[in-house]
Chains A and B, each alone.
Chain A
Amino acid sequence: MIFDDPTRSTGEWLRGEGPLADVVISSRVRLARNIAEFPFLTSASAGQKSEIFRAVADQVFACADDPQAELIDVKEADDLDRQVLVERHLISRQQADAEGSRGVTVWPDETLAIMINEEDHLRIQGLHSGLQLDELWSRLGALDDKLGARLEYAYDKKFGFLTACPTNVGTGIRVSVMLHLPALKLSQEIERVSRATKDLRLAVRGLHGEGTEAVGDLVQISNQTTLGKSEEEIIKSLGETVIPKIVEYERMARDELLKQHAEQIDDRIWRAYGVLSQARCIGTEETLTMLSHLRMGIHMGRFDLIDIPTLNELFLLTQPAHLQKMVGRLLEGRERAIARADYLRKRLSQ
């Protein structure tokens, strides 16, 4: 389904709605679980991996609240399709590259996906636009209970849900929020984020989870510890304290920029539009940077030639694998840069 027409992207997060959507791009919650009677993936044989895959996939199918939830066999998928899944945040790079039976069950609007046989037997993941951690948790928690009644989870009274890596033990929960912070970056106040998250055991990262350089002014904040606090406490400390505070900082910085430097801001936004709508050759990084300026422009009310859902679509479809899927064949770096520019020019002239 996903691979039939990746241009018909249905991911809910693309709508860019939800609370605090002017700064919060998306919220994610994931739970790590393993089945008691099998070893972790680290020590599982190929035969065991197949057994685990079958057992889990069957129960996920039985518990899914949507009959259209689709199981994708990542082992059988080709490299390009795997990359499409990574770009959509449906599987991790690790799962794309791993060996053995593995897959992901995806809900039609991509708000829910269950990775099977990544680092743990199951990774139940939810993704929503805006700050919607409570709704995500309630949905994930219910699904987790349903699955837990049918699959015996590896669980210990002391250490909680047992995971392959001790850094995930306990709740096995990872809560992340993706923020767009162009004003803090521009005003060179991005340090406020470090200060707001200091000593709270939070991980602060750039776009694809590696490096600290905020590409496209996107910053991801997630919990680092999973043991010793309840799931609700972890979600609350992120969702009710830290994130709203940072959102406030960004909004204030945006207001200040408009008050003091309106012409420079407009110039930045409209130059970005100029590049995207006229370039003949453009790389991913530059595209993300330009899109970031437009995103800021739209939320600041200084640009309205495209709306947020369209912007998000551009964001997704200009990524390497999606681009090649659209064009219909594999492309080398230079060809991709040209194809990307062609696509952007076409979309922006509509």
Chain B
Amino acid sequence: MDGLCQHCQQEKATVLVTDNFPEKRERHLCEECALREGVIFKQKENGQQILQQFIKASASIQKVSARTCPTCGMTLKEFQKRGLLGCPNDYDVFGDLLAPLIQRAHAGATHHVGKMPPGLDESARKRTSLRRLNRELQDAVEQEDYELAADVRDQIKELESA
């Protein structure tokens, strides 16, 4: 295979990638660009294998993202180690990096087309709000912001009596 990578135009193309979806086409990529796209160099692929291969392969990419999830502290490195994400927010934080992996693992699919969750009923919404407010109250007291604490306490009382 001669020539430069068709994607970055910088490194030598050493990998021939044949895509079958959405249509059949062949591309010549360098190893790094191929890895970034979630291409795995193995014959048989299933979900778990793809995941493991991606994790092992990605570890060798030089510029690994230093991004951290503000909610749970997950990093790409940590995900690579465990193969599991830390919280729902990770899909937002690492969405762009996860997308090629997900696409590969699910035979080219990129979007959910199945059922949606039902709307939350009244009492569930109230429960969730109360839990959130109680956490806010705890934080305010810990930070000794008693004015805020009093405010949150009022909100809780109002919600509970509603």
Contacts and interface: CB of A to CB of B under 8 A. Distances in A.
Interface in A229-280: 229-231
Contact of B106 (A141, A148, A228): A228
Interface stretch (B6-14, B25-33, B111-119): B111-119
B115 A39 contact: no
Interface in A124-174: 141, 145, 148-162, 164-167, 169-171, 173
Contacts, number: 131
Contacts of B105: 166-167, 225
A229 B113 CA distance: 6
A203 B102 contact: no
A120 to B, nearest CB: 10
Contacts of B71: 39
Nearest to A167: B47
**Which size bracket describes the interface of B in this complex?**
35 or more
Contact of B91 (A151, A159, A203, A226): A159
A43 B74 contact: yes
Contacts of B72: 39-40, 43
A219 B137 CA distance: 54
B47 A171 contact: no
B71 to A, nearest CB: 7
A119 interface: yes
Interface in B59-76: 71-74
A160 B114 contact: yes
Interface string A156-194: 111111101111011101000000000000000000000
A42 interface: yes
A312 interface: no
A161 to B, nearest CB: 7
Given A39-B72, A171-B112, A165 B84 contact: yes
B143 interface: no
A10 to B, nearest CB: 31
B89 to A, nearest CB: 9
A39 B124 contact: no
B149 interface: no
Contact of A155 (B83, B98, B111, B116): B116
Given A37-B131, A227-B109, A230-B114, A166 B87 contact: no
A155 B72 CA distance: 17
Given A43-B74, A159-B102, A228 B110 contact: yes
A291 to B, nearest CB: 29
A50 interface: no
Contact of A40 (B47, B83, B85, B92): B85
Contacts of B118: 145, 148-149
Nearest to A166: B102
B46 A224 contact: yes
Contacts of B36: none
Given A173-B114, A225-B47, A231-B115, A152 B109 contact: no
B22 interface: no
Nearest to B47: A167
Given A149-B124, A203-B46, A225-B106, 19 more contacts: A37-B131, A43-B72, A43-B74, A150-B123, A156-B88, A159-B91, A159-B112, A162-B88, A165-B85, A167-B50, A169-B91, A170-B114, A171-B114, A225-B47, A227-B110, A228-B107, A229-B113, A230-B114, A230-B115
Q: Which are the 4 A-B pairs with shortest beta-carbon distances?
A: A228-B109, A160-B112, A167-B47, A43-B86
Interface of A: 34, 36-40, 42-43, 119, 141, 145, 148-162, 164-167, 169-171, 173, 201, 203, 224-231
26 contacts: A34-B88, A39-B71, A39-B87, A40-B88, A43-B73, A145-B118, A148-B117, A149-B124, A150-B123, A152-B128, A158-B110, A159-B111, A160-B114, A161-B112, A162-B88, A165-B84, A166-B102, A167-B47, A169-B112, A170-B109, A170-B112, A173-B114, A225-B106, A227-B112, A231-B114, A231-B115
